[in-house]
Structure 1
Amino acid sequence: MPDRSATAIVPATLASFLTHPAPRAADGVGLGIWLVDTARVGEHELEIGRAWLDGAERKQASAYVRAELRRAYEIAHAAARLVVGTSMDIPPEKVVWGRHACPGCGEPHGRPRAEGTAIEFSLSHTPGQVLVAVADVPVGVDVESHPDDPTALAGVLHPRETAEIDAAARGTLDGGRAAVRFTRAWSRTEAYLKGIGIGLGRDPHLDYLGTDAAPGRTVGEWSLWDVVVPEGYGAALALRSS
């Protein structure tokens, strides 16, 4: 389990699809987390990564109208195949994706999983950045860019988080701009909901995860940390107790 006193987790950098990522840390849950700067992925490397994708991934990628969204999706799924395949000791193109049962309805559309292994993983992408994590326990990650108008979006969050973001926008709350606070809260919420496997099937209003730069939090059997990412982005990791 990561250090509970840490304010954030520093991910490893996955700089190339041409080399295997370093082994996961031996920290009791086998956690590994990697960040990819999509601008540093060259077209040759991306072509290699695209060749690993299955038919469903290629179909989903083609559905993105905006090129930067399509590129981020392709890089995220190629990166996930690389790190999961490395953990399984198989080539990236041999990884077969599936889904856990949804905890809400029992249907197979919960957390993603890789067939033939107990390894858990999560991925997230936004134009510019991709985040991938693997662990021996259920895990969720999310990375987001700062919004232009956070107060227009804050209403989707827990009422206390909405109030904190509004106060920051008015200048009556120290400790971070409104956009930074929104991204903290939203990435924590997304990571947590992805980790439990229900996604936005659970109302984001229900869970207060905060907008301040606090150390790791505990929500039931889940622990949450912020993840260090470049300026203009926010990211979080949710990890279930083993």
Structure 2
Amino acid sequence: MTRDVAQAVPEPEAEPVAPDVLDSLLNTPVTRGGAGVAVWRIETATVGDEELEVARQWLDEGERQQASSYVRAELRRAYEIAHAAARLVVGAVVDSPPEKVVWGRHPCPGCGEPHGRPRAEGAGVEFSLSHTPGQVLVAVADAAVGVDVERHPDDPVALAKLLHPRELEEIEAAAHGLLDGGRASVRFTRAWARTEAYLKGIGIGLGRDPHLDYLGTDAAPRRRLGEWTVRDVVVPEGYGAALALLS
């Protein structure tokens, strides 16, 4: 197996995905529209403590245990908001109260065990969620989907060693001022979010080595990777995000 197992083909004339913004987890209408995929974004700072306390009641025991495992409060808060938002969005799409949504897992494409892409039991839609301190994304689609949001790192070159060798070269070039005048963090976040969204969409996550797939660090907002379309998602400055959808 070569490192260039999958190499994305950029489509620079395309547009990034502009997500709907959730201003609140409570009293906020959620409508999907007629598109095959829809994305929602919520800023964690907009969710007040009293609002989050209500939304925490929607979470199941597994989610509560996972939330309590986070030592850093900002990570725990982002996790809780992400899972509450996913329940709100998926519940609205399938006409169910958020606390009644039951999570499950698709079979892993690598081993067949039930720890692959998440799913909502009994729902006819696919979904994906992602969170980082400050931002949460939730995607709902008619086909397999993965979404990811990342905050720009302080040391992108060190982290880029986890990515495809060509992406590492591009990020190192940016760090030395040879590309983008030094916007290495932007290039890293593009590549990592695209890779993570793609691997989440496949359902194997980081069980597949990120070295294997070249998603690129360029600014083209859409690319094709086999049967998958990977698109950048519009997020605030300091973050990068991507959506992967099976065609």
Shorter-chain TM range is over 0.9
SS of equivalent to 2:161: helix
1:6 corresponding residue in structure 2: 14
Q: TM-score, normalised by structure 2?
A: 0.93
Distance apart, 1:19 and its partner CA: 2.3
Tell me if structure 2 keeps the 8 A contact 1:20–1:86.
no
Distance apart, 1:17 and its partner CA: 1.3
Provide the aligned length of Structure 1 versus Structure 2.
237
1:209 corresponding residue in structure 2: 215
SS of equivalent to 1:61: helix
CA distance in 1, matches of 2:116, 2:33: 26
CA distance in 1, matches of 2:79, 2:71: 12
2:226 corresponding residue in structure 1: 220
Which of 180, 190, 201 pairs up with 2:186?
180
1:117 corresponding residue in structure 2: 123
Tell me if structure 1 keeps the 8 A contact 2:147–2:242.
yes
1:126 corresponding residue in structure 2: 132
For the pair 1:26 / 2:34, whether they are aligned, the reply is yes
Runs of 4 or more, structure 1, over 2 Å off, are 3-7, 19-22
For the pair 1:70 / 2:76, whether they are aligned, the reply is yes
For the pair 1:60 / 2:66, whether they are aligned, the reply is yes
Distance apart, 1:65 and its partner CA: 0.4
**Structure of higher RCO (CA pairs closer than 8 Å, 6+ residues apart):** 2
SS of equivalent to 1:52: coil
Tell me if structure 1 keeps the 8 A contact 2:176–2:182.
no
Residues 123/176 of structure 1: CA separation in 2 closer, same or farther (3 Å cut): farther
Residues 140/21 of structure 1: CA separation in 2 closer, same or farther (3 Å cut): farther
Which of 14, 25, 42 pairs up with 1:17?
25
Q: CA RMSD in A?
A: 1.4
Which of 230, 233, 238 pairs up with 2:236?
230
CA distance in 2, matches of 1:143, 1:187: 6
Residues 167/4 of structure 1: CA separation in 2 closer, same or farther (3 Å cut): closer
For the pair 1:85 / 2:91, whether they are aligned, the reply is yes
Residues 38/49 of structure 1: CA separation in 2 closer, same or farther (3 Å cut): same
Among all aligned residue pairs of Structure 1 and Structure 2, give the percentage whose two residues are the same amino acid: 73
SS of equivalent to 2:214: coil
Residues 133/21 of structure 1: CA separation in 2 closer, same or farther (3 Å cut): farther
Distance apart, 1:175 and its partner CA: 7.2
Tell me if structure 2 keeps the 8 A contact 1:17–1:48.
no
Q: TM-score, normalised by structure 1?
A: 0.95
User: What CA deviation, in whole Å up to 9, does each residue of 1:131-180 have, x standing for no partner?
Assistant: 00101111000000000010111111011100000000001123760000
SS of equivalent to 2:113: coil
1:240 corresponding residue in structure 2: 246
Amino acid at match of 1:32: A
Q: Where do 5+ consecutive residues of structure 1 fail to align? A: none
